[in-house]
Amino acid sequence: METVDTATIPAARREPPPFRLDEDEEINPAFVDAVSDAVGAGDRGRVSLLVEDLHQADVGTLLEALEPEERPQLIELLGRDFDFSALTEVDDAVREEILEELETETVAEGVRDLDSDDAVYILEDLTDADQAEILQHLPAVERVALQRALDYPEDSAGRLMQTEFIAVPPFWTVGQTIDFMRETEELPDTFYEIFVVDPGIRLLGSVPLDKLLRSKRPVRISGIMLDEPDQVEATDQQEDVARRFQRYNLVSAAVIDEAGRLVGVITIDDVVDVIEEEADAEIKALGGVKPDEELSDNVWEIARGRFTWLLVNLLTAILASAVIGLFEKSLEKMVALAVLMPIVASMGGNAGTQSMTVAVRALATRNLGRGNVRRIVGREILVGLINGVAFALVMGVVAVVWFGLPSLGPVIGLALIVTLTSAAFGGIVIPVLLDRFEVDPAVASGPFVTTITDVVGFFAFLGIATLWFGLG
């Protein structure tokens, strides 16, 4: 018999918390339930115990796993123990919902403790009025810094940067610099280089931390600084910044304004998020899904977003059907054509998608440019032709055996050669042209390529059949 009086044990300690992550590093449903129960009971002690030391990324996952109404409750219960950087790890829709529910003071308080890049990330999707209200609760220094970052255009380097950095004059020594850093309380959370500036805060150079550590104390900063530090402009597109980081293996880069003044620093962890977002947007665009569709969106938002794409597709499908309509007589005379025609169109569609995928990828990674576009287009056409011939042989035999009609072989074979070659051509040329006219090829190529492959596929097959068999 147990004789312990559970009432004497503080509620928070009564049962051991379940494992928070399972073996796949996914969040454990039993843990989510435990948090949910504690939040429901308003048991601050138990909630604290449960989420204590949990990494902000996992707190984000936890928030998403909770019921919508529990999320702000959890944050209010934790109070000062809640690290607002967890909010940078949740879907936009979830974050907006949470921020709407929280008291302005709570948000202002939470945002103040963050590095400015995280604060901007949390504030930027709010309405101007909400932003102003929260900023108003902040001390002047933080307010000005955040306001300046928010004034830069969306998706610019200025939005991504952190305004906390260390800048020293060139005439300081390594020793002075190290002592300064030892004595200063308010340093950025993490940093990989310090900057060298003139009295007008114009960027003169940078010193990576490892270089600083390896230099002797009396050495002057001007003697060890890199004269051409990695830098981007605050108005640069985040996408271009990410490409620079990737191309030159950067870990951090200075951000300067139009006047060449140092205004912030961008670090690789923010860039990794941009890279991931870019890839995400590209994959979704190619699949006909809006780049900003998120798992937490509701059914109506999602259905409406996808409707647009399907409507565009319906128009191309109707166009293809109109082509078939031209050959109604042939189809009436020879129903085998109706059975076989989707094969031609489908093969064309897939071959076109292959070329298009390669083109969109190469454009996104800047591997396809004026220098090699001719060679790549030529190569794609050749690949289309080779596979066209290959499948002409395969499908020619299949069609003859299937319908016992020898002349169906050359007809479907010829149609496949024409269709696969055009598909390859369209698949590579359309994205290149769209890119040249500054239309995102990942978003817009699909419908054009499909139209070409469907129209050419049906027209070639039914047209050749009509001529060959004299069905006109």
Interaction with a second copy in 210-249: which residues (CB under 8 A)? Answer: 210, 212-216, 245-249
The two tokens of residue 356 are: 């298009």
Cβ proximity to a second copy: between 128 and 185 the closer is: 185
Cα 405 from Cα 403, distance rounded (Å): 5
Q: CB-wise, 9 or 315, nearer to a second copy?
A: 315
Residue position matching structure tokens 């149609």: 415
Smaller CB separation from a second copy, 124 or 273 = 273
CB of 321 to a second copy, least distance (A): 5
Evaluate whether 123 touches 134 at the Cβ level (below 8 Å). yes
| Among the listed residues 121, 195, 391, 459, the single contact to a second copy using CB under 8 A | 391
Residues 6+ positions from 253 with CB-CB distance below 8 Å: 229, 230, 231, 232, 241, 244, 245, 265, 266
Contact 36, 67 (CB under 8 A): yes
65 binds a second copy (CB under 8 A): yes
* 132 near a second copy, judged by CB under 8 A: no
Q: Which residues pair with 21 in a beta bridge?
A: 27
Q: In a 3-state reduction of DSSP, which class is residue 216?
A: coil
Q: Please count the other Cβ atoms lying within 10 Å of the Cβ belonging to residue 200.
A: 9
Residues 83-102 that bind a second copy (CB under 8 A): none
3-state helix, strand, coil in the chain (%, to 5): 65, 10, 30
Residue 233 φ then ψ, to 5°: -90, 150
Among the candidate windows 140-148, 257-265, 336-344, 431-439, which touches a second copy by CB under 8 A? 336-344
Interface with a second copy includes 81 (CB under 8 A)?
no
Least gap, CB of 206 to a second copy (angstroms): 13
For residue 350, state whether it binds a second copy (rule: CB under 8 A).
yes
Choice between 317 and 400, CB closer to a second copy: 317
Q: Which is nearer to a second copy, 181 or 444 (CB)?
A: 181
CB closer to a second copy, 254 vs 331: 331
* Residue 181 or 201 having the CB closest to a second copy: 181
Question: Which span (104-112, 133-141, 153-161, 371-379) binds a second copy, by CB under 8 A?
Answer: 371-379
CA distance 7 to 14: 9
User: Does 313 engage in binding with a second copy (CB under 8 A)?
Assistant: yes
Q: Does 7 bind a second copy (CB under 8 A)?
A: no
Residue closer to a second copy (CB basis): 131 or 313: 313
Burial of 62 (0-12, 13-18, 19+ CB in 10 A): buried
Quick one: which of 127, 199, 366, 404 contacts a second copy (CB under 8 A)?
366
Contact range with a second copy by CB under 8 A, out of 69-77, 141-149, 150-158, 287-295: 287-295
Asked if residue 437 binds a second copy (CB under 8 A), the reply is no
How many residues form the binding site for a second copy (CB under 8 A)?
A: 112
Contacts of 231 (CB under 8 A, 6+ apart): 203, 253, 254, 255, 256
Q: How many CB atoms lie within 10 A of CB 117?
A: 24
Closer Cβ to a second copy, 90 or 135, answer by number:
90
**Which residues make beta-bridge pairs with 166?**
none
In whole angstroms, how close is the CB of 129 to a second copy at the nearest point? Answer: 31
Query: Binding to a second copy by residue 6, rule CB under 8 A?
Result: no
Contacts of 261 (CB under 8 A, 6+ apart): 200, 201, 202, 203
* Among the listed residues 67, 120, 127, 77, the one whose alpha carbon sits nearest the alpha carbon of residue 102: 77
Applying the rule CB under 8 A, the residues between 178 and 207 that interact with a second copy are 178, 181-182, 187, 190-192
Shortest distance in whole angstroms from residue 39 CB to a second copy = 17
Spacing of C-alpha 274 from chain mean position: 6
Q: Which of 11-19, 96-104, 370-378, 430-438 is the region at the interface with a second copy (rule: CB under 8 A)?
A: 370-378
Strands of the 252-256 sheet, one edge to the other: 231-233, 252-256, 262-267
Rg (CA), the chain: 31
Tokens of 70: 């529990």
State yes or no: residue 468 binds a second copy (CB under 8 A). no
- Site residues (CB under 8 A) for a second copy, limited to 24-63: 24-27, 29, 32, 55, 57
Interaction between residue 335 and a second copy (CB under 8 A): yes
Nearer Cβ to a second copy, position 198 or 293? 293
Site string for a second copy, 397-436 (x = CB under 8 A): -x--------------------------------------
**Region for 214 from its dihedrals, namely left if φ exceeds 0, alpha if ψ lies in -120 to 50, beta otherwise:** alpha
Residues between 290 and 309 with contacts to a second copy, criterion CB under 8 A? 293, 295, 299-300, 302-303, 306-307, 309
Q: Does 353 bind a second copy (CB under 8 A)?
A: yes
Alpha helices for 66-115 (secondary structure H): 70-78, 92-101, 104-112
Q: How far apart are the first and last CA of the chain?
A: 95
> Residue 19, Cβ neighbours under 10 Å: how many?
11
Closer to a second copy by Cβ: residue 12 or 208: 208
